[in-house]
Chain A
């Protein structure tokens, strides 16, 4: 059997022996602010994290595992009467359980919808498109979108590029942070910390193909239990994602704490980094060339001897007591 190039699972202690170390420079398929990227040396199997919200019990073990593995220190905040803690994603909290209470108009049931929020690892990442710093954001051939903090300049353009409102810029070191899909674990054959810690297997990890197959099973099961609109959230608008959800109400993602119904990179961002950029730079370049050409070939506007004579004559006339 061929050696796996990506971990296939996040369950306890998957074997690391015989695993081909991955996520090196040869595995990068997109690099921020870089046009001519050398082609990747190989093609890794796409991986994905599947979050089955119907199995989530809201225990926040995933958040704890994330803090533990990434060694972050989210501030202790005040309880404002909801379970969500901290109150938002922060530079120190890459994943967050968002709790929503939804009144189902069809059944009259009050449903408690819990969604683990965090980077979706888009196939077409808006953050990477918006980033001005070469190599601050990379995408690997297995689908992971990762921030390289050595190159981050802290401008926050990734925040504007992201259709999911995920990256956060630290007020301490002025660098942007988000979920890495545990790229440092995946690189050595381990699944993400959150998936490993999840007690109900609401979070699973493996190849994207396997995760889609697992999701399909789950959707069949949910439908048999009366959730007719159950489905997989793998939005096409961003080319699909490497973090996917199984939703019991996949027809209305927004009820899950404002999950985007049809996410896509904003046309404003495309215009900013696309047509207006080309047009603006071309106009400035043309103007520079045109003035240079006129300067070299055209005639300068010089003061003539005549002008000088007229001016002197005029001054003489104006002089008090001067010649009439």
Chain B
């Protein structure tokens, strides 16, 4: 069981009017967007090599041969980038009792009655679901992807295993696309979320509404340190 109100490196409330609640520091944002860029490139090249109506997308990479060559290398880049991101995020995404309560109240969230939701820490159960499913799916994509990386690993496994890896790679890809849609849509629907990942900070009102436990802990820490505020 993790501390529900755990905070991460760089999280703080900066005095000002309005005060700025720092949610993701610069390194984290860069890390996230490198991962995201890799993901987009992987989806474009991957779907081009799977669904013929979109084969023309290989032109974005310089043709079929280069798309085929680049795809696994972009994948390796994503795995490394995601691993760095996960090293920071995994603690805050550990499951705790509030998450069950939160999940039980998901209907209220969708219906716009967020005041009925339990107070959550830096990540809510939905974000935790996205984090862990991405972590698992990326591992599955790495394992199956290596098997079908013809150039370097073509002869290392039997053909029946390679066929299964192709199927796993596609199923994993479709699940990743579903999780991504959820991830991106949640970020759009919950107004102000993009700001957290782009400029790095959110308004106190946003933190109060969506991550109150986290906000309380940050405020308490600022108070302990005696941060001056205007």
A residues contacting B by CB (< 8 A) are 33-35, 130, 132-134, 151-157, 159-160, 165, 169, 171, 174, 266, 268-269, 271-272, 276-277, 279-281, 283-284, 287-288, 291, 294-295, 298-304, 307-312, 314-315, 318-320
**Binary contact track B44-66/A, C-beta < 8 Å → 1, others 0:** 00001111100100100001110
| Residues in A whose Cβ lies below 8 Å from that of B83 | none
- Find A153's partner among B58, B148, B208 (CB 8 Å cutoff): B58
B189 touches A268 (CB 8 A): no
- The answer, yes or no, to whether B205 is at the interface (CB within 8 Å) is yes
* A134-B55, A280-B174 given; 11 more Cβ-contact pairs under 8 Å: A33-B52, A156-B150, A272-B166, A283-B174, A287-B178, A291-B182, A295-B185, A295-B189, A298-B189, A309-B205, A310-B205
- The answer, yes or no, to whether B204 is at the interface (CB within 8 Å) is yes
B181 touches A303 (CB 8 A): no
Instruction: Give Cα distance in the complex from A73 to B18, angstroms.
Output: 74
| Residues in B whose Cβ lies below 8 Å from that of A35 | 52
Known A291-B181, A300-B191; contact A272-B55, beta-carbon cutoff 8 A: no
**Binary contact track B156-178/A, C-beta < 8 Å → 1, others 0:** 00011011101100110110011
Q: How far apart are B53's CB and chain A's nearest CB, in angstroms?
A: 8
* 5 tightest A-B CB contacts, nearest first: A280-B174, A156-B150, A153-B64, A308-B205, A311-B204
Question: Which chain A residue has the least Cβ–Cβ distance from B152?
Answer: A171
Size band of the B side of the interface?
Answer: 35 or more
- Find A160's partner among B65, B112, B159, B174 (CB 8 Å cutoff): B159
Interface-facing stretch out of B31-39, B96-104, B134-142, B215-223: B215-223
A133 touches B154 (CB 8 A): no
A and B contact pairs by CB, cutoff 8 A, 21 listed: A33-B52, A133-B49, A153-B49, A154-B68, A155-B49, A159-B159, A174-B151, A276-B171, A277-B51, A283-B178, A291-B185, A294-B185, A295-B188, A307-B205, A307-B208, A310-B208, A311-B207, A312-B18, A314-B219, A315-B204, A320-B226
Question: Which chain A residue has the least Cβ–Cβ distance from B58?
Answer: A153
B204 touches A312 (CB 8 A): yes
B191 touches A301 (CB 8 A): yes
Question: Which chain A residue has the least Cβ–Cβ distance from B216?
Answer: A314
Instruction: Give Cα distance in the complex from A284 to B207, angstroms.
Output: 31
Instruction: Give Cα distance in the complex from A259 to B18, angstroms.
Output: 76
B65 touches A300 (CB 8 A): no
Instruction: Give Cα distance in the complex from A19 to B154, angstroms.
Output: 42
Q: How far apart are A305's CB and chain B's nearest CB, in angstroms?
A: 8
| Residues in A whose Cβ lies below 8 Å from that of B55 | 33, 132-134
Known A156-B148, A174-B65, A308-B203; contact A276-B208, beta-carbon cutoff 8 A: no
| Residues in B whose Cβ lies below 8 Å from that of A268 | 160, 163-164, 166-167
| Residues in A whose Cβ lies below 8 Å from that of B68 | 153-155, 174
A277 touches B154 (CB 8 A): no
- Find B206's partner among A288, A307, A312 (CB 8 Å cutoff): A307
Q: How far apart are A302's CB and chain B's nearest CB, in angstroms?
A: 5
Q: How far apart are A324's CB and chain B's nearest CB, in angstroms?
A: 13
A301 touches B189 (CB 8 A): yes
Question: Which chain A residue has the least Cβ–Cβ distance from B225?
Answer: A320
| Residues in A whose Cβ lies below 8 Å from that of B188 | 295
| Residues in A whose Cβ lies below 8 Å from that of B166 | 130, 157, 160, 268-269, 272
B65 touches A315 (CB 8 A): no
- Find B208's partner among A287, A298, A314 (CB 8 Å cutoff): A314
- The answer, yes or no, to whether B26 is at the interface (CB within 8 Å) is no
Instruction: Give Cα distance in the complex from A295 to B48, angstroms.
Output: 27
| Residues in A whose Cβ lies below 8 Å from that of B219 | 314-315, 318
- The answer, yes or no, to whether B125 is at the interface (CB within 8 Å) is no
Q: How far apart are B17's CB and chain A's nearest CB, in angstroms?
A: 10
A133 touches B64 (CB 8 A): yes
